[in-house]
Amino acid sequence: MKDIATPSRTKDILFRHGFSFKKSLGQNFLIDPNILHRITETAGLTKETGVIEIGPGIGALTEHLARTAGKVVAFEIDQRLLPILNETLEPYENVKVINEDVLKADVKTVVEQEFAGFEQLMVVANLPYYVTTPIIMKLLEDKIPVNGIVVMLQKEVGDRISAKPSTKEYGSLSIAVQYYTEAELAFVVPKTVFMPPPNVDSAIIKLIVRDEPAVSVKNEEFFFTVTRTSFAQRRKTILNNLVNGLPGGKEKKENIYAALQKAGIEPARRGETLSLSEFAALSDALLNEGV
């Protein structure tokens, strides 16, 4: 069976169905089977793995997932793709397509209903780039019980997600994702493997979801507020960002200063130099100081 993901078969499918790309839905379809092999390999799929796909398009990645995994459930927002997917995925009995916006979907219930008894659950997708971060954060914050996430996204976002402290890419997104996962940029992907080619460079990232968050904190929500506030103005010191950005920060300058001292963090440092453990110690110390 010829792969969907070749330029000629993709063109033929799109032409026969009179399909036109919607840029606003991030529709850049994969047309290179080699990249698809590398994605499924990176995800380490077996027949005991269940897979959630987001945005199957015309099924290019879906069929590779169906061949290597036990079962695939794919969320697709664009109704026009349903008759196409019906045709292209017809040979695969282990695929279910749900016509829903993944950001509005009750993914947890779908997991309970569709993947009972699977040893492993992975999210594997070529994400729509206009909503990459909200999708990843929804999966992590809603604590969808997946073991890992292997997705294509803008290289620039992949660099930020996997960044280490004291680099220019390191910021609140790096911390939010690394709190829940071990993040690694797996490989960079050239524009030529997409139809139409996107405007930005792409990469595959691999996120292994941790059993427990990387650090333990008294109050998760406050921890994330502290990290976001610390990066509000990257050139400013951590003390200045916290004083200017935390609710009531200006009145509590002394307490913020004391919390930094107690957490062993020099107030003149910049947020981008702090590790996850230092942010955890700082957020707990701020709470102890009544901030």
Q: 16 phi and psi, to 5 degrees? A: -65, -30
Is 76 annotated as ligand-binding? yes
Q: How far is the CB of 67 from ligand SAM (least distance, A)?
A: 15
| Residue placing its CB nearer to ligand SAM in the complex, 69 or 81 | 81
User: Using H for helix, E for strand and C for coil, what is the string for 244-284?
Assistant: HHCCCCCCCHHHHHHHHHHCCCCCCCCHHHCCHHHHHHHHH
DSSP characters over 72-135: EEEE---GGGHHHHHHHTTT-TTEEEE-S-TTTS-HHHHHHHH-TT-SEEEEEEE--GGGHHHH
> In which residue are the tokens 């890992």 written?
148
How near is the Cβ of 56 to ligand SAM at its closest, in Å?
A: 5
135 vs 256, which CB is nearer to ligand SAM? 135
Q: For the CB of residue 145, give the shortest distance to ligand SAM in the complex, in Å.
A: 20
Partners of 74 in beta bridges: 53, 97
Nearest residue by C-beta to ligand SAM? 55
Q: Is 286 annotated as a binding residue?
A: no
Cα–Cα distance for residue pair 271/289, rounded to 1 Å: 20
**Residue 55 in marked binding region:** yes
State the helix-helix crossing angle for 220-230 and 172-180, rounded to 10 degrees.
Answer: 150
Q: Which is nearer to ligand SAM, 6 or 288 (CB)?
A: 6
What's the closest the beta carbon of residue 205 comes to ligand SAM, in angstroms? 15
Cβ proximity to ligand SAM: between 3 and 169 the closer is 3
> For residue 46, with 0-12 CB atoms within 10 Å meaning exposed, 13-18 middle and 19 or more buried, which class applies?
exposed
Q: Which is nearer to ligand SAM, 27 or 230 (CB)?
A: 27
240 annotated as ligand-binding: no
Minimum CB distance to ligand SAM, residue 152 (Å)? 7
Query: Pairing mode, if any, of strands 49-54 and 120-126?
Result: parallel
Contact 98, 53 (CB under 8 A): no
- Looking at the Cβ atoms of 54 and 89, the one nearer to ligand SAM is 54
By C-beta, is 104 or 164 nearer to ligand SAM? 104
Task: Give me the least distance between CB of 61 and ligand SAM, in Å please.
Answer: 4
CA distance 289 to 291: 6
Instruction: Please state the closest distance from residue 138 (CB atom) to ligand SAM, in A.
Output: 10
Is 241 marked as binding a ligand? no
Number of residues that this document lists for the chain: 291
| Residues binding ligand SAM (CB under 6 A) | 25-30, 54-57, 60-61, 75-78, 81, 101-103, 126, 128, 131
Annotated binding-site ranges for S-adenosyl-L-methionine: 28, 30, 55, 76, 101, 126
Annotated binding-site ranges: 28, 30, 55, 76, 101, 126
